[in-house]
């Protein structure tokens, strides 16, 4: 189980979730402890570079950016500090950032 397992389960049940992620990898978009709102990914969603998503990459859970798209339906996930986590399939993307509050 990872830090976002319960959040992912809620998203898969169709719920919009709010939580306060911790860390500094998304500074500039999300600061440590800010309240975020994330909605479930819909089949009709077109995900693009720059979207912030709740996802899994190589078994690890992230609230990170889509940095690039690959024609075979893969998404490169990374932070807002220049780092990348790796490629993941759409089935491993569970939520899309809607709002960031204090």
What is the reported pLDDT for 63?
Answer: 98
Across 41-66, b (16+ Cβ under 10 Å) vs e yields: beeeeebeeebbbbbbbeeebbbbbb
The pLDDT assigned to 84 comes to: 98
What pLDDT does 41 receive?
Answer: 97
pLDDT for 72 = 82
Q: Which superfamily is assigned to 5-101 in CATH?
A: Umud Fragment, subunit A (2.10.109.10)
- Stretches in the chain below the pLDDT threshold 70: none
Q: Domain residues of the chain, as ranges?
A: 5-101
């Amino acid at each position: 189980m990872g830090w976002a397992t319960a959040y992912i389960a809620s998203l898969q049940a169709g719920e919009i979730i709010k939580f306060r992620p911790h860390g500094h990898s998304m500074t500039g978009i999300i600061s440590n402890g800010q309240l975020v709102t994330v909605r479930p990914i819909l089949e009709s969603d077109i995900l693009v570079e720059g979207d912030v998503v709740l996802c899994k990459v190589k078994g690890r859970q992230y609230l990170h950016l889509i940095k690039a798209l690959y024609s075979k339906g893969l998404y490169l996930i990374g932070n807002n500090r220049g780092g990348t986590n790796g490629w993941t399939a759409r089935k491993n993307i569970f939520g899309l950032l809607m709002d960031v509050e204090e």
